Structure 1
Amino acid sequence: MTLKISPVLVKELRKKTGAGMMSCKKALQETNGNINGAIKILFQKGLASADKKVNRKAIEGIIGSYIHTGGKIGVLVEINCETDFVARHEEFHELVKNIAMQIAASPEEVMYISLNMIPREVSQMESEMESKKEDLINKPDQIIEKIVAGRVEKNLKKLTLLNQPFIRTPNISVEELIKERISFFGENIKVKRFIRYTLGN
């Protein structure tokens, strides 16, 4: 027997996730009305559908800005989508504003959008520094290689916007936030470029 889900619960889940009514109802039925479980299901499905869209061309969008309180930090960011229709959407503008705020709140070493945009020389320099650490002395080469690779990846992620925890929901990354919106709009969304200004620098 299918569990009857109240319209109020469906409405609440829609508000939290932006997913369609039937998707919300189905997710709630799968989790016996557990809203947190339903959010998790919708999020996982959203990421799966978003992954299929990430290589699609995105040349529309907007340039957003954010000036932090006091006027000491400013951000310009270009976010692209596939159509002008989505670019004019209020929720797309909200996403751009959130990402601009994220950049303003991120540590100053966040200079790249994703790992694949980090220059090779930066990666090599990190690798050299990590391989010279004292705690690796006398360890077998294979073990050193694995430890260094893990540490380098961890260090490089700190430099990238997409790997930062989202300031408003720290249990997801900026990349996962964007994938949620890709799923919601049904279009590819990309951070094209950004610049962060700090007064006096």
Structure 2
Amino acid sequence: MADISAKLVKELREKTGAGMMDCKKALKENDGDTEKAVEWLRQKGIASAAKKEGRVAAEGLVESYIHTGGRVGVLVEVNCETDFVARREEFKSLVRDIAMQVAACPNVEYVKTDDIPKDMLEKEKEIEMGREDLASKPENIREKIVLGRIEKRQKELSLLDQPFIKDQNITVAELVQQRVAQLGEKIQVRRFQRFVLGEGIEKVESNFAEEVAAQAGLK
């Protein structure tokens, strides 16, 4: 695998408008060949998606998904630029898939990693730095390990970073980018809410045998 320089990544980013990490991945996948990396980004829908990021997406759909048995429900809002695209079956299918994805990922709490509160990440870092398995390691090594753990935790909480349930080879973010390339508009997952039956209600645990005995006057 080619050694990818920061300069090469910067040049590809300027050429395609894609993010730094996407550019770096594209170059690694294509052994540092810029032209092949551009093509790779286009095939993934990343280059065209990046160029649309500055546009306003105020149309779209609010979709619901109720899991079998009615114990888990999801509401999700996904935006696009025009009502025309919002009515297309490809867009509707995407929104349904995202609602189903939220239902399938109980640990996901935010749309993307940037939405995670900084104070929460600081608290996580403080907890990780104090863990016993790192106590004997030098501070600089501990810092690197903790940053890796925090990054992993961020991705666990982020919807867009999840492997797509219908195709584990891509993330939800890549799925969205593919639809951007297909439909020609900016698409963004704005928000979601998951409802779990009985969540937050304090349940009184009881022993059925004792209840029967009590009612029968035996206790």
Q: TM-score range by the shorter chain?
A: 0.7 to 0.9
Paired residue for 1:144, among 121, 142, 145? 142
Asked whether 1:156 is paired with 2:183, we answer: no
Asked whether 1:64 is paired with 2:45, we answer: no
Mapping 1:1-201, distance limit 5 Å: 41=40, 44-107=43-106, 109-201=107-199
Q: CA separation in 2, counterparts of 1:142 and 1:44?
A: 40
Distance verdict in 2 for CA 1:104–1:45, change over 3 Å: closer
Q: Per-residue CA shift, 1:118-172, capped at 9, x if unaligned?
A: 1112111111111112222232222221111111010121111111110000111
Q: CA separation in 1, counterparts of 2:55 and 2:140?
A: 39
AA aligned to 2:169 is: N
Give secondary structure in 2 for the equivalent of 1:188: coil
Q: Is the 8 A contact 1:82 1:187 kept in 2?
A: yes
Q: CA separation in 2, counterparts of 1:145 and 1:67?
A: 42
Larger relative CO (CA 8 A, sep 6+): 1 or 2? 1
Q: CA separation in 1, counterparts of 2:173 and 2:191?
A: 14
What are the ranges of 5 or more consecutive residues in structure 1 without an aligned counterpart?
Answer: 1-39
Give secondary structure in 2 for the equivalent of 1:158: helix
Indicate the structure (1 or 2) with the bigger Cα radius of gyration.
2
Give secondary structure in 2 for the equivalent of 1:54: coil
Q: CA separation in 2, counterparts of 1:50 and 1:96?
A: 17
Identity, % of aligned positions: 56
Q: Is the 8 A contact 1:43 1:180 kept in 2?
A: no
Q: CA separation in 2, counterparts of 1:143 and 1:42?
A: 34
- Normalised to the residue count of structure 2, the TM-score between the two structures is 0.70
